[in-house]
Chains A and B, each alone.
Chain A
């Protein structure tokens, strides 16, 4: 396959970026998108040019690091996959592919396609945990009976890898799907109920402080989420937040 790549290039956070068009040839349809990017970078290095910076780590769809906005969609045109799981067979010979970083004021560009998603870390630190004494006498989690329905829903929420596709896809750059998944994965379990009130208040307040937009229930986040996190989590968080606010 021969392709044209329109890639966002930005030297650093302060620099003014621009889109540069490259041509790339001999791309196998069996390559992953990141392998295609690797090949492109090798060519750039051989030509003495600066390679394109992009985030990646596990390349198995579980770390949440790859973060490109490909042809107008987070993680590209495929569904329930991260960019590392996207394959070039999803494109046609002669295609022009536009590659941009995830855009949100809360996700500033570090360089080229790499963005700073530490806002998610700060939200998580604000309450996305369970305070457990880990001094060696930790109770086996399986000792507490948990309704299967709740356990499944908590697990579904916990599959969120924090990649930020929800923010990138949302027309308002809202982080509600991410935060609601993190709130839900604890709120549904008995271990998480103890700190439920403080957790939801603190995490939502931190989310607002980071400058994410408001959720307008378009559902784009759910469609683009590589892990299929449901909008049901947002409703659960809304409910939990309103209850917590009344408590106090």
Chain B
């Protein structure tokens, strides 16, 4: 079933929505760092040590990320091959938005950012817990977060990446419902929610990075 056009699009939509759910949860926890160091440390410690989160949800998330970008590339290759001879004059902007036509570009930027994000947080975390077996310290998370945002260069990269994430979500979120066959009286509401979500969540992440850079 996954070999057909529609099944692949459904798979992209479902994996995308799964990642959006995770993004919302990640944003909520990160936002607590702005208001309460204690709450952020508590939640981070819970997420980092809970067995269900660590050994079921985390592998599922990594699988979701890998699946989404691999399928994205598979679809892109198929689409490129469907028109071997290109137009000399193609006015894409006359009938479709830039974001909808360039999901692969925004996706690659977000994927590159994920590489940096893993290097910044996930790799040190795995090293801390499962390679060096350092003693548990439930109060270390806030300090680690603030430390990462000392560098204005890193804050700038994070901000730019979240702008591209916003663009990716702007088309991807509502588009996933169309791929699942949902285009009805709720579509307008879904599109409005998409605009709000794709602006508020990335802007919130940028705010968190700048906040800790300024106050760290």
Residue numbers of A with Cβ under 8 A of B are 6, 8, 19, 69, 71-73, 77, 98, 100, 103-106, 169, 171-174, 176, 204-205, 207-208, 211-220, 223-224, 231-232, 234-242, 245
B6, B89, B100: which contacts A100 (Cβ < 8 A)? B89
Inter-chain contact B175/A216, CB cutoff 8 Å: yes
| Bound CA–CA A240/B6 (angstroms) | 11
Bound-state Cα–Cα, A98 to B86, Å: 14
- Known contacts: A105-B81, A213-B79. The answer to whether A220 contacts B179 by CB under 8 A is no
The A-contacting residues of B in range 99-137, CB under 8 angstroms, are: 100-101, 103
Contacts A73-B91, A245-B7 known; 13 new A-B pairs at CB < 8 A: A72-B91, A73-B94, A100-B87, A100-B88, A104-B83, A173-B83, A213-B78, A213-B79, A217-B171, A218-B95, A219-B100, A220-B95, A231-B183
Task: Give the chain B neighbours of A73 by CB distance below 8 A.
Answer: 91, 94-95
Contact B95 A224 (CB under 8 A): yes
Asked whether A238 lies within 8 Å of B82 as measured between CB atoms, the reply is no
A212 (CB) vs chain B CBs: closest residue? B82
Chain B's closest residue to A171 (CB) is B101
Do residues A238 and B179 form an inter-chain contact, with CB atoms below 8 A? Answer: yes
Also in contact, A171 and B183, with CB within 8 A (given A104-B83, A213-B78, A216-B75): no
Q: Is B180 an interface residue (CB 8 A)?
A: yes
Contact call B91/A173, Cβ cutoff below 8 A: no
Min CB–CB distance B151 → chain A (angstroms)? 36
Interface residue from B81, B86, B95 paired with A223 (Cβ < 8 Å): B95
Give A201's nearest chain B residue, CB to CB: B4
Across the interface, which residues of A come within 8 angstroms of B53, CB to CB? none
What residues on B are CB-neighbors of A238 within 8 Å?
A: 6, 9-10, 178-181
A211 / chain B contacts, CB cutoff of 8 Å: 81-82
Q: Which residues of B contact A231 (CB under 8 A)?
A: 178, 183
**Chain B hits for A173, CB < 8 A:** 79, 82-83
- Cβ–Cβ < 8 Å partners of A219 in chain B: 95-96, 100
Q: Return A7 CB to nearest CB of chain B, in Å.
A: 11
Do A235 and B91 touch (CB < 8 A)? no
B5 and A207 contacting across the interface, CB-CB below 8 Å: yes
Given the complex of chains A and B, what is the CA–CA distance between A69 and B27 in angstroms? 46
Q: Give complex CA distance A150, B45 in Å.
A: 55
Contact A242 B181 (CB under 8 A): yes
